[in-house]
């Protein structure tokens, strides 16, 4: 397997770590929109389960599932690393068997509440339809065609608190936390998102820029450094 050719993008800082948390296939459209001035992002490795996009030599894009007990595959080829997740830990042998010659690989476990990164190691984190996704209004029932947790369930809020705490831990000061939430007519996601943002007290740790087109809300949150938090 040949090393991927560097992709030149003006203004892209080398060796950034970019992480997406949550279900990923549809969310990649958001990533392409946000980086549209830098060209379409490319997979490195050719397997649609490999979750690395290379923006520039040394940069990484990692996708981690929100749910617990996921497997995350990590491998390196030359100066390039890739990370991949699977629902089934027993796929380790399959993962090892498909490693190209010369690629070092290992299997680790991670999820949105236990991110496999050091403190302040990540530059950009995306989540899409995580804070309000799978949440239905307390007045709705399964007969209304909405399947999910009620917004008042304590387990849901605890999981989100753990997720946000992990994001704060791994995101560097000045790093970007991007939240995208869609609000289909059949789901009262906006109310659930507003409750989540208030209860999680996100604005205490981030400077917030909001884009709202009525059906989609995008928050760009820049992590404050410790000195600004103390002011």
- Res 142 pLDDT > 50: no
Pick the closest to residue 34 from 202, 207, 183, 179 (CA basis).
179
Strands 17-21, 122-128: pairing kind: parallel
pLDDT band at 31, cuts 50/70/90? low
Cα–Cα distance for residue pair 10/7, rounded to 1 Å: 10
133 vs 226, more confident: 226
Mean model confidence pLDDT for the chain: 57
What tens digit of pLDDT does each residue of 147-159 get? 344 445 566 667 6
DSSP lists the bridge partners of residue 113 as none
Mean pLDDT of 148-172: 70
Report pLDDT for 115. Answer: 74
The pLDDT, as a whole number, for residue 42 is: 42
The two tokens of residue 196 are 């989540």
CA distance 132 to 222: 21
pLDDT band at 163 (very low <50, low <70, confident <90, very high): confident
The span from the CA of 56 to the CA of 38, in Å, is 10
The C-alpha angle with vertex 27 and arms to 142 and 104, in degrees rounded to 5, equals 120
Domain ranges of the chain: 1-116, 120-231
Per the DSSP assignment, residues forming a β-bridge with 149 are 135
Dist. CA 3–CA 37, nearest whole Å: 25
- Report pLDDT for 98: 54
Please give the Cα distance from 228 to 231 (Å, whole number): 5
Q: Which backbone phi and psi does 16 adopt, to 5 degrees?
A: -85, 150
**Which pTM does this prediction carry?**
0.58
By CB atoms closer than 10 A (0-12, 13-18, 19+), residue 139 is exposed
**pLDDT band at residue 127, thresholds of 50, 70 and 90?**
confident
Is the confidence at residue 101, as pLDDT, over 50? yes
pLDDT digits (tens, 9 = 90+) for 38-95: 444 444 333 333 333 444 444 555 556 555 444 444 444 444 444 444 444 445 555 5
Locate the DSSP E strands across 51-157: 53-54, 60-64, 70-77, 80-86, 104-110, 122-128, 135-136, 149-150
User: Above 70 in pLDDT, residue 174?
Assistant: yes
pLDDT in tens, 178-215: 777 766 544 555 666 666 667 667 667 778 777 666 66
What is the pLDDT, as a whole number, of residue 10? 34
Q: What is the DSSP string of 74-90?
A: EEEETTEEEEEEES-GG
Domain 120-231 in CATH 3.30.110: yes
Q: How confident is the model at residue 118 (pLDDT cuts 50, 70, 90)?
A: confident
């Amino acid at each position: 397997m040949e090393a991927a050719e560097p992709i030149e993008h003006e203004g892209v800082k080398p060796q950034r770590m970019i992480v997406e948390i949550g279900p990923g296939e549809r969310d990649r459209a958001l990533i392409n929109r946000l980086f549209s001035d830098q060209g379409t992002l490319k997979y490195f490795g050719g397997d649609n389960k490999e979750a690395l996009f290379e923006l520039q030599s040394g940069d990484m894009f990692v996708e981690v599932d929100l749910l617990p007990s996921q497997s995350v595959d990590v491998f390196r080829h030359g100066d390039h690393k890739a990370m991949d997740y699977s629902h089934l830990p027993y796929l380790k042998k399959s993962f090892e068997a498909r490693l190209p010659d010369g690629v070092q690989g290992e299997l680790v476990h991670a999820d949105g509440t236990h991110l496999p990164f050091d403190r302040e190691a990540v530059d950009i984190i995306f989540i899409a339809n995580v804070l309000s996704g799978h949440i239905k209004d307390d007045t709705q029932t399964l007969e209304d065609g909405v399947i999910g947790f009620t917004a008042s369930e304590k387990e849901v809020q605890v999981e989100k608190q753990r997720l946000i705490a992990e994001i704060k831990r791994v995101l560097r000061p000045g790093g970007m936390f991007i939240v995208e939430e869609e609000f289909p007519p059949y789901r009262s996601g906006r109310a659930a998102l507003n409750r989540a943002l208030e209860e999680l007290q996100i604005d205490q740790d981030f400077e917030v820029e909001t884009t709202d087109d009525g059906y989609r809300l995008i928050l760009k949150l820049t992590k404050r450094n410790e000195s600004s938090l103390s002011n």
